[in-house]
Amino acid sequence: MTKIIFYLTVFILLFMSKIYAQKSFESQVKSISSEIENITKEEKSALKIEVEAVNVELENGIITKEDAEAKKQKLAETRAKNIENRVAIEQQKLENLVQQKVDGKIKVTDSTHTSYAFYFPAMKIKNKNDKTEKRTTSQFVLAFGVNNLVTNKAVANSDFYYWQSHFFEWGFTENTRILKNHNLLHLKYGFSVMYNNICPTDNRYFVPAPNSQTNLEVFPYELEDSRFKNVYLVAPLHLEFDFSGKKSNHGNSSFSSHKGVRFGIGGYGGFRIKSKQKMYYNIDDDKIRIKTKGDFNANDFIYGVSTYLGYKETSLYLKYDLNPLFENNAIDQNNISLGVRWDFN
């Protein structure tokens, strides 16, 4: 475990060394998050028009009430699927952007240019040079890093690869200063989508058993890749200590968040959206790709504790699930994640 933390610390320091490229990275993240919001609005508007058309058919006696309800249900399902597919594309852009950040391919923007900040849920663009900050501000959250399972209170000798197993998270938060005339204490709350991946070692994969347990078994062919992904929608809640302090300008005092050292501690709770297992292997010259969706006897709900420590937007981030990944397994295995987190104000 010590070795993992050491390598991850080196990994994070490499990111910190490229902090001057943050403006370009931040602007692209904001553009993608804005597109996600636009996708939802477009699909909801289209659904509203389609539902109104169905109502007109019902009023004119063209279709029955039962047919109208069935038609509306189908339209809603189609639009929901459209949102999922289109947002998945934007999610891939986010992952690619993070990889470019890691590879140092994002250029630094001119520091003399005016910078802007992204605000949710109003989705307004606000000049960041404005020194007045409201008591409640909004952030777009992006995080990723390594992921694994704690078995018998340890991560050592894990059944899963350390570096291939990873997590990814994005979401929106509201940050409220608790005290009117002091900047130290903040309440941070919102929602996030979490993607937890684990990659079994020794050519194994997960198999749901008849006794409602989920076991690791050896695959009959040589696997190029085997990974198990769970996606969750959660509501995080943190008490944040912000040491940005108070600024004085021409006799007027003002507070700013995310300008100095920050420390947050709290937790999260939510539910599982889906589970999927992917296996890649070859038979002679044929490349076989298997993707299996199901519940795999995984817990439908998730709750845990999390903390972060950082400077300005960038933090070291740790989260741990208090409930086990699988509902009925004889040995509890709890998910743990460690990585880098950005809170774009």
Three-state SS letters, 156-208: CCCCECCCCCEEEEEEEEEEEECCCCCCCEEEEEEEEEEEEEECECCCEEEEE
**Is 20's pLDDT higher than 80?**
no
pLDDT bucket at 131, cuts 50 / 70 / 90: low
What is the overall mean pLDDT for the chain? 83
User: What local confidence, expressed as pLDDT, does residue 265 receive?
Assistant: 97
pLDDT bucket at 84, cuts 50 / 70 / 90: confident
pLDDT bucket at 249, cuts 50 / 70 / 90: low
pLDDT bucket at 122, cuts 50 / 70 / 90: very low
Residue 36 or 308, more confident: 308
User: What local confidence, expressed as pLDDT, does residue 46 receive?
Assistant: 87
**Is 7's pLDDT higher than 70?**
no
pLDDT bucket at 314, cuts 50 / 70 / 90: very high
**Is 192's pLDDT higher than 60?**
yes
- Please count the residues of the chain: 345
Stretch 11-28: mean pLDDT, rounded? Answer: 55
Per DSSP, helices labelled H in 104-148 are none
Residue 141 or 16, more confident: 141
Q: Which residue has the tokens 């852009």?
A: 93
User: What local confidence, expressed as pLDDT, does residue 252 receive?
Assistant: 62
Contact 184, 244 (CB under 8 A): no
Stretch 57-78: mean pLDDT, rounded? Answer: 86
Least confidently predicted of 21-35, 60-74, 99-113, 210-224: 99-113
